[in-house]
Amino acid sequence: MNQMQTISEVSKKLNISSRMLRYYEEVGLIKSQRMDGYAYRVYDEANINRLRQIIILRKLRIPVKQIRKIFDNRDAISVIEIFERNINELDEQITALSTVKSILHRLVQELNVKVNLNLQLDYLSEIEVFDIVESITFPENKLQEVTTLEDLSKADEALGKLEDKDVRIVYVPPMTVAVAHVVDENMEGEPAGMIASDQIGYFVYETELLKIKPDARGLGFDCSAGGMKPGVRPTAYEAWVSIPDEMEVPAPLTKKTFEGGLYAAHVLRDWSWQDWKHLMDWVDNSDKYERDNGPYFEEMLNYYNLVNAGDNMEDLQFDLLLPIKERAK
C-alpha cells in the first residue's frame, strides 16, 4: 500500500525543514499531492524515497542543479560524468588543504627545534620558509572510506563550518515595518513562515508598495515560544516588510518600529538551514563578538527584483542575520 505522509511527518522523519521541502518542490525535484477531503499537502512513497536520495547527494556536496540533471537523465554515463567532476573538485580542495597542513607541520617541527635549543625566535625568515616548502613531498591523497550515514553527516558538518571570510558584520538600520504574525496551531498544515510570507506578499501587491518604496526590505524570523532551533519547523513566525513611517496597514497585519542593531550576516548556502547553527558557532567562538537579544532575521536579498519577478524560489537568496554585540573587555 502506498502510504501518504504529510509535510510535517516527512519533515520529522527525514530531519529536513518544511522550507527545504518546499524549495525542492519548487525546483522540480519532488512533487506533493492534495487528496480529496484532505487539506494538507502529502507525499507518496516514491517522493519520500527520492527525498532520501536528495539528502544523501546534498551531503556528498552535489549541487541542486546537478541533482536535477541526475534525475532528469538516468543515463549512467551522464551520472558518472557529474560524479567525476565533483571528485576532481574535491581532489583540488584536498590537495590544497594537504599542502597547507604539511607546511604547518614542518614549521612546527622547526619551531620546536629552536625552543629545545633555547634559541630566541624573532621571526621565521623567508629563506627558512622556502626551504621548508621545497623539502616537502606529498603522498597521493586518498579519501577515507565512508561506511555509514553518520560518518557522512559528520563530514558534512565539518565541511560546513564557517570561516571569517564567510561572515559579514552589518548594521541593520531602524525602520518602520508591516508585520504578519502567524501561530502554527496545527503542525500538519502549511508552515507558519509560509503563511506569514504570503500575507506580506499580498500586502505588498495590493498597496503597490515597491512603487512607493523601492528600497523596501523583506525580513522574517522564528518567534516560537521555545526559541529558534535550526532546521526545526517554527511554531510561530513573523514576516516583515519595511514601509514609509506614515503608512497605515490593514488587519490582520500590524505596524511596528524596529530600533536597529548590529548583526553577524551570512548568505544561506544551498538552502541548508543548518547554516544557522554554523553562524551561531562562529559568533560563540569569536573573540570580539557575542550574541545579543533581538530577532534572528532571515532577509530576502534583492527584494525589489524578486517580488517583481514573481517570487521564484529558485532565484531566492537569504541573508541570515544574528544579533550581536562586542564582548566586554
Say what the pLDDT of residue 93 is. Answer: 82
- Of 159, 177, 196, the last residue of a domain is 159
CATH of the domain at 27: 1.10.1660.10
pLDDT tens for 206-228 read 999 999 999 999 999 999 887 77
- B/e letters for 186-199, b = 16+ CB within 10 Å, e = fewer, are ebebbbbbbbbbeb
The answer to whether residues 127 and 224 belong to one domain is: no
pLDDT tens for 43-78 read 999 999 999 999 999 888 898 889 989 988 878 888
- Of 29, 48, 72, the last residue of a domain is 72
Domain count, the chain: 3
The answer to whether residues 200 and 142 belong to one domain is: no
CA dist 185 to 12, 121, 239, 318, 328, Å? 17, 65, 17, 26, 41
- Of 17, 37, 72, the last residue of a domain is 72
The answer to whether residues 237 and 93 belong to one domain is: no
How far is Cα 21 from Cα 23, in angstroms, rounded to an integer?
5
- For cell 521555545, the residue is 226
Question: Which grid cell sits at 299?
Answer: 532577509
The answer to whether residues 139 and 270 belong to one domain is: no
Q: Which residues of the chain have pLDDT under 50?
A: 1, 126-127, 141-143
How far is Cα 176 from Cα 320, in angstroms, rounded to an integer?
20
CATH of the domain at 321: 3.20.80.10
- Mean pLDDT value across the chain: 84
Say what the pLDDT of residue 119 is. Answer: 57
Question: Which grid cell sits at 39?
Answer: 487539506
The answer to whether residues 130 and 267 belong to one domain is: no
Say what the pLDDT of residue 45 is. Answer: 92
The answer to whether residues 91 and 222 belong to one domain is: no
Say what the pLDDT of residue 229 is. Answer: 74
Domain membership of residue 296 as a residue range? 168-326
- pTM score: 0.76
The answer to whether residues 9 and 65 belong to one domain is: yes
